[in-house]
Amino acid sequence: MKVNKAEIIISAVEEAQYPSDELLEFALIGRSNVGKSSFINAMINRKALARTSSQPGKTQTMNFYLINEMFRFVDLPGYGYAKVSQKEREKWGQMIEKYLSIRENLQCVLLLVDFRHPPTRDDIAMYQWLKHFQIKTAVIATKLDKVKRSQHQKNKKMIKEDLQLNKGDALFTFSAQDKTGKEEIWQFLEDILKT
C-alpha cells in the first residue's frame, strides 16, 4: 500500500464521537509501550503522526486515523500500565469493550505483543476475549530487531502456544526500526479491504 495521506480524525472517548460513515477499520490493541504508535507511524511512513509515548498509559483515548481517505486505523488505549488506578482501569475496559463489541466498521483487530517476552496475562486475556466474541484477529509481535535471529522460531512458538492462537489467525513479526514485516502486513490488510 502506498500511503499518500494520513490524518488523525478524532481522539474519541465515547461512542457518540465515532466517525459515522461506513469506512472499514483496523483496531490496534496491546499493552502500553508495546509499540503501537511506532507501528502506525512505520506503516504510514510518518515519523510522529501517532504519538510515541514516553509516559506509557497516558493516552486514554481512541485515536481514529484516516488513511488515503479509504480506511482507518483505530489506536485503542494500551493496557497493563501499573500506575493506573482501578477506576481508570474500569473506564478503559468499558471504552474498549464498547468499541469492540458494537463497531460494525471493524474488520480485524491487530493485537500487538512484544516479541522479546512471553505474552503477558493481559495479552492472553485480551486474545481470549476477542476469540470469545469471534472478532477476527491478527497478532503482531513487535521489536523484532531486538531479538537474535537464532531465537525467532522459539519465540514464535512461545507466542502461539501461550496465546493458544487459533489456526486461522495470522502471526506477524514486525520491526518499526527497520520495517521488517511491513509489506506482509500491508498485504494482509489489503486482502481484507478487497473482500
Interacting residues with ligand GDP (CB under 6 A)? 30, 32-38, 52-53, 56, 78, 142-143, 145-146, 175-177
Of the pair 33, 107, the CB lying nearest ligand GDP is at 33
Cβ at position 181, least distance to ligand GDP in Å = 9
Of the pair 116, 157, the CB lying nearest ligand GDP is at 116
* DSSP string across the chain: -----EEEEEEESSGGGS--S--EEEEEEEBTTSSHHHHHHHHTT-SSSSPPPSSTT---SEEEEEETTTEEEEEPPPB--TT--HHHHHHHHHHHHHHHHH-TTEEEEEEEEETTSPPPHHHHHHHHHHHHTT--EEEEEE-GGGS-GGGHHHHHHHHHHHHT--TTS-EEE--TTT-TTHHHHHHHHHHHHH-
Cβ at position 167, least distance to ligand GDP in Å = 26
Of the pair 19, 56, the CB lying nearest ligand GDP is at 56
Cβ at position 56, least distance to ligand GDP in Å = 5
Cβ at position 118, least distance to ligand GDP in Å = 18
Of the pair 32, 105, the CB lying nearest ligand GDP is at 32
Reading the block at residue 88, the C-alpha cell is 481508570
Cβ at position 180, least distance to ligand GDP in Å = 9
Residue nearest to ligand GDP (CB): 35
Of the pair 108, 140, the CB lying nearest ligand GDP is at 140
